[in-house]
């Protein structure tokens, strides 16, 4: 029958599912139906005139019962058990069933919010899967830029949503502390050091040019003096031409890295490598922490080799017959599992590839006992989807337990003009600069108010605006407005009797009150859907609907001027609204201020 395995249903929706399950089961038994009824859906009605919920059970089961949908709908209504939450049900159109709730059912949301507080809408902790969520994982070769910020905001919010849905979530940053890009950074740092020591350095076309590299080099110079200085002629002797000299920039930078290793020796090279890594990683940690983004684990790529994980993963593929040698290299037969081409695991020179690390890292997730692995990648990593799915199958893991979510680019606009960025050249807007410009709250909200698979045009002027045109300001203002209302009540000597308010909820019958209570009842649905669909924008949109309903209620109904029982009921409604706004904004990583 109905499928509720992916996310916990909210109370009212769950009740309706149970009622229709029972009616459908009774009808199937009465008609001698051989097959179990088809799963059906119950959704919120878009038009209040069509009830609170619509059920398609009759539509999807008409063929199985061999009757028109409207006839099945009537039979279901005849078999539907009575329930105090249901006022009436009606058949609409070709066979939909519209459900109208009682006022008491709508009002119960207020009591539920005030009773459950921060737990309203959340599933029991540990009721879901053990999930590892990897996100950001930017190469520690420079500060985070605004593109990384979108992945950070999306990942942190998704982690919050999954936890609210009952999953046990481990948030992980994969530190790419091995490989070519880190070698280029180490060489770039050494060359900046040489320049500070007075050598006539010609900086490589493909080196890291940001000022942060100079700062790291200066720190080494201040500590070690000229210990690592080498004469420039010895540095460039017999190197191939760089791109600006008519050569190949990739060949040139690789030769420069090799020269740095040779002239510095293992100790010196490791010093520059680690100094650059540690400095940039510390900056990344600090930047993310200030943005409200924290990780349970910072997983080192180098640990995969040191801990034997890479060898274990390769041996597992070899034992299963999924590796072969060709052209001196070791290959994974990825095409056997749906990938577009086979993948090199070890190059002809004996060096492991990035894909070999990917294999070992994927394997480690399941070795550590996680039931689901979620990766958040930039949109330019779309090729990794088939690659990692193939790797999972080759390693003996269920590919359905791997999710790869792609985060599209975020583009800043200032006065209608696109802001350009380039990490390698050092000309980019950092995440820290964006946070300082528009504030953490606006940045967190703007990053997730559109789907991760959609391009995001980030309007800086709108994010700064202190007006209702700014969506995060609009939400925060609703919360602050409620706090102001309670401060005014205290100033005027008006108390709030919560129990009296709960007892008088049946007085809340005005359209604006009913609309607001409906939105409060929908919050668990937004939460469940946002977690199940990995879509924080659904929660963001729902909160805007809640804020709109509150502003409509507040502007149309007197609160403090009402008679005491009605006043307490309306204050209870306001308090519940503030609680849900704070709950939802907290999951989005946004504050809920009491004053603005």
Q: Which two tokens stand for residue 553?
A: 């209620």
Length of the chain (residues): 596
Secondary structure in 3-state letters for 176-188: CCCCHHHHHHHHH
**For the structural domain made of 471-587, what CATH number should be given?**
1.10.730.10
CA distance 588 to 574: 21
CA nearest neighbour of 108 among 596, 510, 505: 505
CA nearest neighbour of 235 among 200, 196, 269: 200
Handedness of CA 527, 531, 532, 533 (dihedral sign): positive
Beta pairing, strands 53-55 & 42-44: antiparallel
Hey, where are the domains in the chain?
11-101, 180-290, 471-587
Q: What is the pLDDT along the chain (596 residues), one digit of tens a residue?
A: 334 333 333 568 889 999 999 999 999 998 888 777 888 999 999 888 899 999 999 999 999 899 999 999 999 999 999 999 999 999 999 999 999 999 999 999 999 999 999 999 999 999 999 999 999 999 999 999 999 999 999 999 999 999 999 999 999 999 999 989 999 999 999 999 999 999 999 999 999 998 999 999 999 999 999 999 999 999 999 999 999 999 999 999 999 999 999 999 999 999 999 999 999 999 999 999 999 999 999 999 999 999 999 999 999 999 999 999 999 999 999 999 999 999 999 999 999 999 999 999 999 999 999 999 999 999 988 888 999 999 999 999 999 999 999 999 899 998 888 886 554 444 678 999 999 999 999 999 999 999 999 999 999 999 999 999 999 999 999 999 999 999 999 999 999 999 999 999 999 999 999 999 999 999 999 999 999 999 999 999 999 999 999 999 999 999 999 999 999 999 999 999 999 999 999 999 999 999 99
CA distance 75 to 463: 54
Report whether 84 contacts 104 (CB < 8 A).
Answer: yes
Q: 88 - beta bridge partners?
A: 100
CA dist 244 to 60, 148, 205, 249, 512, Å? 67, 30, 7, 8, 68
CA distance 105 to 125: 26
Q: Look up the CATH architecture of domain 11-101.
A: 2-Layer Sandwich (3.30)
CA distance 154 to 135: 9
CA distance 473 to 479: 10
* CB burial string 458-481: b at 16+ within 10 A, e below: bbbebbebeeeebbbbbbbbbbbb
């Amino acid at each position: 029958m109905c499928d509720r395995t992916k996310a916990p249903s909210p109370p009212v929706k769950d009740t309706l599912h149970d009622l229709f399950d029972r009616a459908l089961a009774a009808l199937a038994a009465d008609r001698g139906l051989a097959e179990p009824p088809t799963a059906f859906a119950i959704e919120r009605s878009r038009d209040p005139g069509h009830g609170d919920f619509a059920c398609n059970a009759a539509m999807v089961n008409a063929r199985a019962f061999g009757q028109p949908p409207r006839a099945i709908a009537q039979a279901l209504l005849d078999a539907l058990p009575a329930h105090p939450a249901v006022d009436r049900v009606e058949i609409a159109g070709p066979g939909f069933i519209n459900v109208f709730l009682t006022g008491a059912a709508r009002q119960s949301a207020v009591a539920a919010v005030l009773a459950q507080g921060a737990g309203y809408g959340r599933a029991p902790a540990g009721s879901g899967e053990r999930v590892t969520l990897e996100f950001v994982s930017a190469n520690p070769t420079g500060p985070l830029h605004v593109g990384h910020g979108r992945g950070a905001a999306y990942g942190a919010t998704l982690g919050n949503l999954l936890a609210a849905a009952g999953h046990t979530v481990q948030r992980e940053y994969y530190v790419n502390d091995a490989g070519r890009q880190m070698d280029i950074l180490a060489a770039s740092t050494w060359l900046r050091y040489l320049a500070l020591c007075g050598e006539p350095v010609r900086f490589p076309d493909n080196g890291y040019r940001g000022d942060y590299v100079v700062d790291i080099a200066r720190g080494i110079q201040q500590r070690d003096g000229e210990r690592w200085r080498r004469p420039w002629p010895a540095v460039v002797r017999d190197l191939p031409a760089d791109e600006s000299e008519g050569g190949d920039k990739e060949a040139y930078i690789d030769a420069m890295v090799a020269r740095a290793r040779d002239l510095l020796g293992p100790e010196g090279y490791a010093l520059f490598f680690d100094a650059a890594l540690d400095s940039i990683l510390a900056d990344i940690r600090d930047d993310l922490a200030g943005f409200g983004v924290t990780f349970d684990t910072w997983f080192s790529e180098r640990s995969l080799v040191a801990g034997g994980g890479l060898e274990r993963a390769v041996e597992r593929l070899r034992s299963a017959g999924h590796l072969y040698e060709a052209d001196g290299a070791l290959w994974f037969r990825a095409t056997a599992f749906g990938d577009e081409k086979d993948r090199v695991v070890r190059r002809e020179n004996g060096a492991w590839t990035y894909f070999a690390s990917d294999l070992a890292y994927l394997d480690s997730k399941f070795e550590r006992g996680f039931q689901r692995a979620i990766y958040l990648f930039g949109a330019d990593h779309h090729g990794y989807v088939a690659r990692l799915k193939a790797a999972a199958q080759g390693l003996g893991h269920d590919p359905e337990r791997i999710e790869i979510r792609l985060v599209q680019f975020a583009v800043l606009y200032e006065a209608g003009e696109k802001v350009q960025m380039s990490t390698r050249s050092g000309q980019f807007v950092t995440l820290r600069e964006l946070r300082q410009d528009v504030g953490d709250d606006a940045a967190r909200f703007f990053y997730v108010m559109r789907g991760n698979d959609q391009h995001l045009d980030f309007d800086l002027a709108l994010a700064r605006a202190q007006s209702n045109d700014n969506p995060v300001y609009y939400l925060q203002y609703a919360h602050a407005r409620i706090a102001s209302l309670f401060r005014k009540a205290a100033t005027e000597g008006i108390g709030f009797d919560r129990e009296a308010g709960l007892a008088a909820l049946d007085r809340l019958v005005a359209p604006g009150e009913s609309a607001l209570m409906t939105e409060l009842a929908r919050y668990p649905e937004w939460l469940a859907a946002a977690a199940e669909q990995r879509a924080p924008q659904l929660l963001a949109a729902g909160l805007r609907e809640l804020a709109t309903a509150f502003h409509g209620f507040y502007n149309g109904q007197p609160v403090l001027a009402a008679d005491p029982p009605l006043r307490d009921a309306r204050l209870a409604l306001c308090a519940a609204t503030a609680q849900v706004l704070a709950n939802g904004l907290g999951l989005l990583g946004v504050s809920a201020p009491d004053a603005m």
